[in-house]
Structure 1
Amino acid sequence: MMDRALQLQEQQTYFASGATHSYAFRKEQLEKLKAALYQHEEAIYDALAKDLKKNKEEAWVTEIGFTVAEINYALKHLKKWMRPKRVGTNLLNFPGKSFILPEPLGVVLIISPWNYPVQLLLSPLVGAIAAGNCVVLKPSEFAPATASILETIITETFDQRYISIIQGDGATVIPQMMNNFRFDHVFYTGSTQIGTVIYEMAAKKLVPVTLELGGKSPCIIEKDANLKIAAKRIALTKFSNAGQMCVAPDYLLLHVSIKDAFLKELKQQIGAFYNTEGVRDYHFGKIVNDKSFHRLTSYIQKEHVIYGGRIDAATHFIEPTLLDNPPLDAPVMQEEIFGPLLPVLTWEQEEDVYRIIRTHKNPLALYVFTSSNDRANHWLKSIPFGGGCINNASWHLTNHQLPFGGRGTSGIGAYHGRFSFDTFSHQKGIMKTATWLDPAIKYPPFKGKLNLFKKLIK
């Protein structure tokens, strides 16, 4: 492996050569990435099982298949995305035409977390390739088996002058790169705390960033909700990947009148999905490491458990657990949970909901379960958040036609589908003026033309 500083310079030189710009090149690289994922499919399954105890079905849906779908969508639309977009031209600039020309940014850095280590590294990569950039990838060191197979995939598939992958301790490697090299964009997925550090380093060199962060995503359940459907959909998404998902419902806000009925349904669905004999060992994942395990178990010890609560330190297992009405100043309600613990709070007046959500403004996601379109729209319009669902949870991120991202402390910028292409492109505004007509009014002397200018420019 070449020296890191030299490698970054080589990538900068390779980008400047224009090698990555053509449609044919971009298309070929996307196809190569897809082929590599299929070629290494079994090795990816093995790595995800080692790091997070993911079963093959979950690994396909949330990791490999998710990325393949992103590639297929980009391949289908890439030619259209690359075309100049014609826009109108105002009267002042007659005769002329205007268009927006997307161009690649240059050498970009993508930093991914451990919870979905394939998807969250390669999905942004799809957008960066589609937009014509050179890329440096930094996978998480906390999913080492997956990081290793990703390194194999990248180094076997791509010229290192085009796409390189850097391993190591993120707290050391990332500052070394960002402080000594100016990237043209930094794309980071992870915690708000680390995202703030990334943002500060980028700001010193005026590097644009996309920050996909987290937060406490509330789930509001109205008294007219379909309780069985709500329970099934919340149980699925909250406890997928052992709750280690940035868009998992972080806490429930149940209308007080349906608390008992809903909890009965939710407990039944959790048991059916994850706790029946022969199901738990296959379907339920593990907590990633000791640090996360001890943080989560400390929450359980301090709160009133109304379902679950069993743990096994040797296997990093924490059972799907419901916590009844923890205080808003409790650690479990102050920090993003990122695990299989679900606090249950109740409300009666709307102000109760706003008061609770205001303690963590601008959540990454909001979920509303109700049979009323008016009530759903009311919540969507009255609460600022990144994105979300009505009568579902988390699945909005699987729709390539929706932007995915947060706002405020939950993130900056968005991606997926066309939004990924735009994130890794500069939209260059161009105006072409004809020469067959050249009105004298545009040139000095301007004395006496004020009234005419007022008519033209308004």
Structure 2
Amino acid sequence: MSNRFQPLLDAQREHFLTDATKSYDWRMDQLGRMERMLLENKDAFCAALYQDFGKPPFEQLFEITVPSGVIRYYRENLRELMAPQQVAIPAGLEATGNKGVIYKEPYGVTLVIGPFNAPILLLLDPAIAALAAGNTVILKPANTTPATAALFQELVPQYFAPENVTVVTGGREEIGELLLLPFDFIFFTGSSAVGKVVMRAAAEHLTPVILELGGQNPTIVDETANLDIAADRIAWGHNAISGQWCIAPGYVCVHESVADVLVGKLKASIVKMYGEDPSKSPDFARMISTHDAERVASYIIPGKVVHGGRFDIAARYVEPTILYPSGWDDPALQQEVFGPVLPVMAYRDLREIVGIIKRKPKPLAAYIFSKDKAAIDHVLASLSFGGGCVNQTNLHCWIDSLPFGGVGNSGMGKYYGKAGFDALSNAKAMLIGNPDVDLDVFPPYAGKDIARNLSVFS
């Protein structure tokens, strides 16, 4: 049975095999095209984001400025990133005129599958890294953001030759068909369930993957924390994009001595940011679908609602909600909420609560608010997670010098900045020999000082 996307793969692979994409000029040209597509169509992209799920202006512009910043990083650092890197080798080999060099080469045709929650940023950031590394790209935007996907389908052919970058729209059927093809690299951002599907498909062709997934991200607030700072940053980090952010604080564990105070401050922070009725706030997005609104609303336990709790499924609206005191058996703690419902629970002993958290699936992010260095060090040393913040939330994902990615159930592989270039490049390790100096480690061995000859490798 023929695959309708095979010609797209074939055209990009044939172009890649010409070695055209390996040049500095090609990479800079593609980065320039990407930047122009973003900046020249900023208003159209922002309008599409608003049409798809009511993203407020700041969150719209965030999706333009962050990829633009990534492009700027690669433009300023590309020559250095591309340059062969000489590395130390055993002294004996070096003394005989050998040297070790790492060459960074592109993989080839890269499939980038983006999510709905940041449908521009999280589709283009991986694509920008792939292009900087010299790969061609097939983009698959989320079908649940139809206005944004349609805009990509319209704009990409205007800025890119299809043998360099092209776009495929559609849903599950199209993704399934794409995954049958032998790509050279796959970059997927989305749920853990779909990540497993992608990884199984990639295994058929031994295709390397980066999986950016998710999970319930813990936030720990101890008794030394600045509660005003913690409340503002948790309230914003959890409710931005209506909670549909893979690095959003998923639940809060707060020391019992300050639990009631923090809950009060969280309520105040939500009102300060979104008003008494967030449904009227221009700064509060909607859920991506009625199905997701219904799912998130189902986590609300009326008896535990201390703030919010209202929802309108048809309008895809769930109010920023605090559940307190929550317990580990509550529905909102059985999986990633991915919505504006925040479970809060009190703890008595830090080591005990960390011991519970570390036995759960490894999250994409974790946050701790504390002024106690010993407490901070214990959390960071004991918990495994992709990345996070101390006395902040979410901001680590904006910094190109910090590798971003998950671990275990929350994903595999890191990108952003140099980490992204390295992840989308094969590190070709080479020993460059001296053509004029003999290194006699070959048979026949009789009468040779093998130990002396082998000592050059140590």
Taking structure 2 as the reference length, what is the TM-score of the superposition?
0.95
Aligned to 2:29: 28
What whole-Å deviation, never above 9, does each CA across 1:233-269 have from its counterpart, x for those lacking one? 1111111011100000000000000011111211111
Match of 1:53 in 2: 54
2:175 aligned partner: 174
1:114-193 equivalences in 2 (<5 Å): 114-169=116-171, 171-179=172-180, 181-193=181-193
Q: What is the number of residues matched between the two proteins?
A: 453
Matches within 5 A, 1:347-366: 347-366=347-366
Structure 2 residue 435 is the aligned partner of structure 1 residue 435: yes
TM superposition shift of 1:301: 4.3
Aligned to 1:397: 397
Q: Which amino acid aligns with 1:216?
A: Q
Give how far 1:149 is off. Answer: 1.1
Are 1:316 and 2:339 matched, yes or no?
Answer: no
Distance 1:454 1:11, change over 3 A: closer
Shift of 1:294: 0.5
Q: Which amino acid aligns with 1:411?
A: G
Instruction: Map 1:271-290 onto structure 2 (within 5 A).
Output: 271-276=271-276, 280-290=280-290
> In angstroms, what is the RMSD of aligned CA positions?
1.7
Give the share of equivalent positions with the same residue, in percent: 35
Verify the 8 A CA contact 2:90 2:456 in the aligned structure 1: no
Q: How far did residue 153 of structure 1 move?
A: 2.3
CA distance in 2, matches of 1:217, 1:386: 10
1:338 aligns with 2:338: yes
Q: Any conservation in 1 of the 2:279–2:319 contact (CA below 8 Å)? A: no
The letter for the 2-side match of 1:309 is G
- 2:18 aligned residue: 17
Say whether the 8 Å CA contact 1:216–1:360 is kept in structure 2. no
Q: 1:341 Cα shift?
A: 0.6
Q: Distance in 2 between matches of 1:191 and 1:4?
A: 24
Deviation at 1:104, TM superposition (A): 0.6
**Higher alpha-carbon deviation: 367-376 or 295-304:** 295-304
Secondary structure at the counterpart of residue 257 of structure 1? coil
Contact 2:364 2:405 in 1 (8 A): yes
CA–CA separation in structure 2 for the residues paired with 1:280 and 1:379: 39
Aligned partner letter, 2:445: F
Q: Alpha-carbon deviation of 1:280?
A: 4.1
How much does 1:105 deviate? Answer: 0.3
Distance 1:15 1:454 in 2: 41
Matched, 1:367 2:370: no
* Equivalent position amino acid for 1:38 in 2: L
CA distance 1:301–1:288, shift in 2 (3 Å): same
Q: CA deviation at 1:52?
A: 1.7
Contact 1:178 1:202 in 2 (8 A): yes
Q: Does 1:380 align with 2:380?
A: yes
| Alpha-carbon distance in structure 1 between the residues aligned to 2:82 and 2:358 | 41
Amino acid in structure 1 at the alignment position of 2:229: I
Opposite residue 188 of structure 2, the aligned amino acid is: Y
Contact 2:307 2:323 in 1 (8 A): yes
What residue in structure 1 maps to residue 411 of structure 2?
411
Q: Structure 1 pair 396/139, CA: closer, same or farther in 2 (3 Å)?
A: same
- Which deviates more, 426-435 or 86-95? 86-95
- Residue 286 of structure 2 aligns with an amino acid whose one-letter code is K
Q: Structure 2: which amino acid aligns with 1:442? A: V
Q: Structure 1: 5+ residue runs without aligned partners? A: none
Q: Tell me, what secondary structure is at the counterpart of 2:195?
A: helix
Q: In the alignment, residue 196 of structure 1 is paired with which amino acid?
A: K
Q: Which residue identity is paired with 2:247?
A: V
Choose from 108, 111, 115 the match for 2:110: 108
Paired residue type of 1:8: L
> Matched residues in 2 for 1:276 and 1:34: separation?
39
Aligned 8 A contact 2:364 2:386 in 1: yes
Partner amino acid, structure 2, of 1:339: G
Deviating more after overlay: 414-423 vs 268-277: 268-277
Normalization by structure 1: what TM-score?
0.95
Query: Structure 1 pair 381/20, CA: closer, same or farther in 2 (3 Å)?
Result: same
Distance in 1 between residues matched to 2:258 and 2:327, nearest whole Å? 20
CA displacement at 1:451 relative to structure 2? 3.8
AA aligned opposite 1:127 = A
Contact 1:273 1:279 (8 Å CA) reproduced: no
- How far apart, in 2, do the equivalents of 1:344 and 1:338 lie? 15
Deviations 1:282-304 (A, max 9, x none): 11110110110100111114661
Shift of the 28–347 alpha-carbon distance from structure 1 to 2, 3 Å rule, reads same
Instruction: Determine the C-alpha separation between the residues in 1 that align with 2:267 and 2:302.
Output: 21
